[in-house]
Amino acid sequence: MRLIKINSKNPEKDRIQKAADIIKNGGVVVFPTETVYGIGVNALNKKAVSKIFKIKGRPKGNPLIVHIAKKEDIFNLAKNIPKEADLLINKFWPGPLTLVLEKKKIIPDNVTAKSQTVALRMPQNKIALNLIVSAGVPMAAPSANISGRPSSTAAIHALSDFKEKVDLIIDGGRAKIGLESTVVDLTKTPFLILRKGAITKEGLEKVLGRKLFYYKKNKKEPLRSPGMAYRHYSPKAKLILAAGTLNEIKKKIKKSAEHYKKSGKKVGILASNKTKNFYKGDVILCLGSRKNLKIAAKNLFNYLRFLDKEGVDIILAESFPRTGIGTALMDRLSRAASKII
Ligand code: TXA
Ligand code: MG
C-alpha cells in the first residue's frame, strides 16, 4: 500500500494518473470527496467491486454509490430518469447530493445489491473528479471505513482502518463537509429522502417546488434504504446523547460525567463553544459553536475517532439544533448513540 499527497485545489496530474491506473487495473484507491473519504473501484468491474465488500466487512445487501465526473454520464448508467432530476442536478451537482434512479444493465448487480436502482453522485472535490476522468470509468465508492465505524474525514482514518488492504490512499486534506451526502430516491413518487446530509429537505423542496418526505421503514415493503438499517457511525466507546434545552443538557452531562468517573470509567465529552469549560471529564472536546453547525459537522467523525484513540469508555455528547446541516449532524449522533438521556 502507498499513501500519496495530492493538492486538492490543483491536483498533480502525474499523481492522479498513478491512482487512475490502479482503478483501471481493478485495484482499490481511497480518495477524498467533499463529504467524507471514499474507498473506490471501477464500478463496471464486478470483481473489483466485490473487493470493497470484503475489505470493509460490508453486508452484501448494502448497495454502493456510483460516482461520476460529468452530469451527462447519468444517461449511461440510469434510465427512465424523471424530469425533476434535471432541476436537482443543475442546482446541486457537483456536490453532496446522491440520486437513486432506475439502473441500466451495464452496472454489475453487486454494486446495487441486486436492486434495480442505482445511487449516483457527482462529487465536488477536484481530486475525486480528476481521478474519475483519468480512470475513464464511473467509480463505486462507499465511505472509507470498516463497516459500522465512523466515516473517514481524513486519510489517516482510512489508513488506520484498512492498512495494507487497499492499493493506494490519497491524502487530499480534511473533508470539507465531514458528513455523507444527502440521498434522495427519485424512482417512486413521492420522492423520498433516504439519508440526511448537507443538502437539506427545505433546500430540495425549494428547487423542486414540491414537498419531499423522509423515508420511514414500512413493514410491508422491502427496505428502500438498506444502509440505514445497520448500526452506524459507532465509536468503540459507548456514546450517550443528552437532549433537551441547553441548561438541561449541561446538567445531564455534568451529572453523568460525575457518575461514570466515580465508577472508574474514562469519560470523553463532546461539548460546544460556550459549554466546554463547564464540564469535568477526562477528554473534553469542543465540536464547535451551536450557531455555526457546519464546523460541528466537520469535526464529528474526527472527534469520535480521536476519543476512541484516547481509550475513553463513555462519550457524553450534547444535542445540537436541528437546523440546516444540524439535521444531518443530529441524525449521525443519534445513530451513533447507545442511549439518549
Ligand atoms: O458522501 C457520500 O455519499 C460518501 C462519499 C464517499 O461519496 N459515500 C457514502 O457511501 O456515504 P456509503 O456506502 O457509506 O453510503 C451509501 C448509502 C447507504 O446508506 C446505501 O444503503 C445507500 O447509500 N444506497 C446506495 N445505493 C442505493 C440504492 N440503489 N437504493 C437505496 N439506497 C442506496
Ligand atoms: Mg458509510
DSSP string, 285-305: EE---SS-HHHHHHHHHHHHH
Q: So what's the pLDDT on residue 9?
A: 96
Peptide bond into 150 cis (omega under 30): no
Strands (E) across 108-249 are located at 117-121, 139-140, 168-171, 182-185, 192-195, 213-214, 238-242
C-alpha cell at 308: 476512541
Q: Which atom of ligand 1 is nearest to the CA of 180?
A: 1
Q: So what's the pLDDT on residue 237?
A: 92
| CA nearest to 66, candidates 104, 124, 102, 120 | 120
Confidence of residue 229 (pLDDT cuts 50, 70, 90): low
Which residues line the pocket of ligand 1, CB cutoff 6 A? 33, 35-36, 38, 62-65, 96, 98, 100, 112, 115, 117-119, 121, 123, 141-143, 180-181, 183, 194-195, 225-228
CB 14 within 8 Å of CB 159:
no
| pTM of this structure | 0.96
User: What separation in Å is there between the alpha carbon of 283 and the centre of ligand 1?
Assistant: 32
Residue nearest to atom 21 of ligand 1 (CA): 227
Residue nearest to atom 22 of ligand 1 (CA): 227
Q: Which of 143, 177, 300 is the best mutation target for the ligand 1 pocket, counting ligand atoms within 8 Å of the beta carbon and taking the most?
A: 143
pLDDT digits (tens, 9 = 90+) for 261-310: 999 999 999 999 989 999 999 999 999 999 999 999 999 999 999 999 99
pLDDT digits (tens, 9 = 90+) for 31-43: 999 999 999 999 9
Residue nearest to atom 15 of ligand 1 (CA): 142
| CA nearest to 71, candidates 60, 55, 57, 85 | 85
Q: So what's the pLDDT on residue 30?
A: 98
Residue nearest to atom 19 of ligand 1 (CA): 227
Residue nearest to atom 32 of ligand 1 (CA): 225
pLDDT digits (tens, 9 = 90+) for 163-222: 999 999 999 999 999 999 999 999 999 999 999 999 999 999 999 999 999 998 776 676
Pairing relationship of beta strands 2-5 and 29-31 according to DSSP bridges: unpaired
Region of residue 57 (left: phi > 0; alpha: psi -120 to 50; beta: else): left
CB 239 within 8 Å of CB 156:
no
Q: So what's the pLDDT on residue 288?
A: 96
Average pLDDT over residues 9-13: 97
Q: Which atom of ligand 1 is nearest to the CA of 195?
A: 19
Query: How many angstroms from the chain centroid is the CA of residue 105?
Result: 27
